[in-house]
């Protein structure tokens, strides 16, 4: 499995039989093998996670489908603005929170589960080829102290609840598919704007869910904060992928 960091929270994951592209809105896509289907995911509608230009990928890569969070509105009055034709619409699956979508891609079963974000939209847990891949979107422990104590208390409760849901989704998926209850690649926000609280969400997640490789994202290009996280969380240090620039590829 090959994971390419595109930019911000955008990642391309190359599985044996297909590609999954997450939250692509800027940066360069590497050349894609036209024989492999492409599944484009968007965790929510914010402009740093979803750009309607992704629908143009169908022109370059005909075997493309879209799995989008429910808050990305594709009602008739929005479709024209977004450039979504009837034909493109037929390739779109819209997912609500806490839902499960089972499909087939390149002859293999793919299961997608969603968990409600603490921001907008969803986080995705994918299972295929005996592997689990997680992309958190903007699901994070957003400990914005300036928002006040009540906000922070609610955020803590909501984030812990979301992690409980991820734990359950991993457990259920492992039971259904027979794979190990371990996420092979987890893409998780690590946002320097939170100051000293930047690592709370990632640390809490890895305390509760087994993860093999952790890909920090939503860093606003401040990649040196990855090493700060590794120093402050030595038990995670070996799992954390040290991204240093857009476009880097990692074999896992
Ligand atoms: Zn964001």
Total tally of structural domains belonging to the chain:
1
CA of 187 to the centre of ligand 1 (A): 13
Given a contact cutoff of 8 angstroms between Cβ atoms, the answer to whether 105 and 129 are in contact is no
pLDDT of residue 190: 98
The Cα 179–Cα 82 span in angstroms is: 38
User: In whole angstroms, what is the distance from residue 96 CA to residue 68 CA?
Assistant: 9
Three-class DSSP category at 48: coil
Tokens 């070996």 correspond to what residue? 238
Distance separating alpha carbons of residues 145 and 1, to the nearest angstrom: 39
CA of 136 to the centre of ligand 1 (A): 10
How close is the Cα of 234 to the center of ligand 1, in Å?
A: 26
Q: Which residues contact 75 (CB under 8 A, 6 or more apart)?
A: none
Is 221 within the bounds of a domain? Answer: yes
Closest CA to 29 of 72, 61, 68, 73: 61
How close is the Cα of 48 to the center of ligand 1, in Å? 5
The CA-atom distances, in angstroms, between 210 and each of 39, 117, 172 are 25, 20, 14
Structure tokens that stand for 11 in this block: 């990642």
Task: Please give the chain's pLDDT, 252 residues, in tens.
Answer: 999 999 999 999 999 999 999 999 999 999 999 999 999 999 999 999 999 999 999 999 999 999 999 999 988 888 988 889 999 999 999 999 999 999 999 999 999 999 999 999 999 999 999 999 999 999 999 999 999 999 999 999 999 999 999 999 999 999 999 999 999 999 999 999 999 999 999 999 999 999 999 999 999 999 999 999 999 999 999 999 999 999 999 999
Find the domain containing 207 and state its range: 2-246
User: In this structure, is residue 35 part of a structural domain?
Assistant: yes
252 lies in some domain: no
What's the CA-to-centroid distance between 68 and ligand 1, angstroms?
A: 15
Query: Which pLDDT value is given to residue 75?
Result: 86
Q: Tell me, in angstroms, the distance from the centre of ligand 1 to residue 137's CA.
A: 7
The Å distance, Cα 219 to ligand 1 centre, comes to 10
Structure tokens at 167: 């734990």
The answer to whether residue 183 sits within a structural domain is yes
Distance between Cα 189 and ligand 1 center (Å): 9
Distance from Cα 34 to the centre of ligand 1, integer Å: 30
**Predicted local confidence at residue 77, as pLDDT:** 87
Assess if residue 251 is contained within a domain: no
* Rg of the chain over all Cα atoms, to the nearest angstrom: 17
Distance from the alpha carbon of residue 17 to the mean position of ligand 1, in angstroms: 29
Residue 29 CB-density burial (10 A; 0-12 exposed, 13-18 middle, 19+ buried): middle
Distance between Cα 224 and ligand 1 center (Å): 19
Task: Specify the DSSP class assigned to residue 240.
Answer: B
Where do the DSSP E strands lie in 131-229? 131-135, 183-189, 211-217
Angle between helix axes 149-177 and 200-208 (nearest 10 degrees) is 30
Q: How far is the CA of 138 from the centre of ligand 1 (A)?
A: 5
Between CA 197 and CA 185 the distance in angstroms is: 23
> In angstroms, what is the span from residue 108 Cα to ligand 1's centroid?
31
Distance 153 CA to ligand 1 centre (A): 21
Residue 95: the pLDDT is 97
Question: Domain for residue 194, yes or no?
Answer: yes
Query: What CATH code is carried by the domain that includes residue 226?
Result: 3.60.15.10
In the 3-class helix/strand/coil scheme, how is 64-92 assigned residue by residue? EEEEEECCCCCCHHHHHHHCCCHHHHCCE
What is residue 17's predicted lDDT score, i.e. its pLDDT?
97
Q: How far is the CA of 74 from the centre of ligand 1 (A)?
A: 20
């Amino acid at each position: 499995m090959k994971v390419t960091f595109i930019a911000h929270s955008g990642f391309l994951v190359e599985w044996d039989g297909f590609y999954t592209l997450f939250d692509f809105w800027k940066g360069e896509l590497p050349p894609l093998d036209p024989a492999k289907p492409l599944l484009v995911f968007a965790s929510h509608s914010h402009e740093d996670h979803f750009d309607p230009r992704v629908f143009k990928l169908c022109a370059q890569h005909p075997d493309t489908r879209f799995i989008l969070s429910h808050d990305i509105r594709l009602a008739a009055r929005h479709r024209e603005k977004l450039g979504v034709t009837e034909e493109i619409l037929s390739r779109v699956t819209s997912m609500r929170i806490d839902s499960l979508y089972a499909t087939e891609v390149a002859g293999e079963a793919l299961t997608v589960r969603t968990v409600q974000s603490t921001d907008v939209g969803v986080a995705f847990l994918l299972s295929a080829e005996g592997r689990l891949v997680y992309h958190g979107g903007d699901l994070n422990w957003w400990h914005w102290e300036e928002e006040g104590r009540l906000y922070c208390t609610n955020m803590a409760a909501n984030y812990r609840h979301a992690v409980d849901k991820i734990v359950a989704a991993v457990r259920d998926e492992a039971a259904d598919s027979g794979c190990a209850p371990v996420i092979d690649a987890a893409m998780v926000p690590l946002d320097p704007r939170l100051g000293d609280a930047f690592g709370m969400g990632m640390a809490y997640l890895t305390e509760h869910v087994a993860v093999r490789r952790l890909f920090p994202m939503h860093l606003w290009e401040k990649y040196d904060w990855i090493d700060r996280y590794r120093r402050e969380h030595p038990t995670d240090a070996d799992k954390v992928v040290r991204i240093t620039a857009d476009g880097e590829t990692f074999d896992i």
